[in-house]
Amino acid sequence: MSLRRAASSVGGTVLAAATQGVASLRPARKPLHPDGEVVMGRIYRCGSDLPTGVAWIDEEGEDDVVVRRSRAIGLPLGLPDIHGLAVRIPTAAGDGDILFATTGFGRVTRFVLTASRQPRSRPLTTLLPYDTDSGALLLAAEGVESGSYDLSWARPSGEWHLFGVLLLSTTRSDDTAISFDPVQHQIPGLRQYPSVRRLRAPAYVRARRSRADTSPTTEETHHVH
C-alpha cells in the first residue's frame, strides 16, 4: 500500500470514528450537521480571470441552486461551532453537490476546520482539493453580507480567484430532506481524487448506519453535511 493511500485510509478511519462517536452521543439521522436551514438560491458566475479547464468555473452563467446552512456539531447558538454550507447545482450531467466548511484562507488554514460563533465570521472552503485536468484546486465561499457569498477557487498553495456570487433567497426549499453527497454528485470537470473518496467513504457509511438505526424507514441516503 502506498504512503498516500495508507494516509487516506487512516484519515477515513478517523472520520468514521468521529462520526460514530457523535452518533453514539446523539442518535440522529444526521449525526453531523443535524440541524440546518434549506433555502433556494442563485449563483451568478462571472467566469475566472485565469482559466482552470472547468467550464462551470471558467464560463459566465447562472444557476438556480438549493442550499443548506448548518452547524456541524449542533451546539447551542452562541457557542463556537463548525459551520457548513452545502450547495446543490443542476448540470447537464445531473446534480452536482459542493460542501463548504469554515476554515481559513491561508496556505495552511484553508485545510483546517475552524469553529466560530457566526457563520460569516470565517471563510468556508471545500477543505479537500478537487482533481481537474489542469491540476488540484479548492473552492471557497466567503460571506460578504447576509445571504451573499463570494465564490472563489485556488490551487492548494495559490492565490484565490473570484468567479461568482451566491445569493440566498428567503424562500425555503420544499425538499428539506435533501441529502448532499459530493462523491456521488459531481460537477463535470471537478473530480474527487481516489484518496479523497477513501477519506470520505467510511464517514458516509457510519452516517448511513446511524440514519438506518434512527429512522422508521429503510431509506438510504448519502449525507454527512
Of 130, 122, 117, the C-alpha closest to 101 is 122
Angle at 75 between CA 73 and CA 78, to 5 degrees: 135
Of 148, 183, 188, 192, the C-alpha closest to 52 is 188
**Coil, strand or helix at 192:** strand
Would you tell me how many other CB atoms lie within 10 Å of the CB of residue 75?
Answer: 12
Dihedral of CA 50/47/54/38: which sign? positive
Q: What is the chain's length?
A: 225
Domains annotated for the chain, with CATH where assigned, are: 1-31+195-225 (no CATH), 40-192 (2.40.180.10)
**Distance between CA atoms of residues 206 and 224, nearest Å:** 9
Q: What is the DSSP letter of 158?
A: S
Tens digits of pLDDT across the chain (225 residues) = 444 444 344 344 444 444 444 444 344 445 454 567 899 999 999 999 999 999 999 999 999 999 999 887 767 777 888 899 999 999 999 999 999 999 999 999 999 999 988 877 899 999 999 999 999 999 999 999 889 999 999 999 999 999 999 999 987 876 667 888 888 899 999 999 888 787 766 555 555 554 455 444 433 333 445
**Distance between CA atoms of residues 225 and 210, nearest Å:** 14
Q: What is the pLDDT of residue 52?
A: 97
Going by C-beta distance under 8 Å and a sequence separation of 6 or more, which residues neighbour residue 140?
100, 105, 110, 123, 124, 125, 126, 151, 152, 153, 154, 160
Q: What is the pLDDT of residue 97?
A: 96
- Amino acid type, 6: A
Q: What is the pLDDT of residue 84?
A: 92
Going by C-beta distance under 8 Å and a sequence separation of 6 or more, which residues neighbour residue 198?
5, 8, 9, 12
Q: What is the DSSP string of 79-92?
A: S-B-EEEEEEEEET
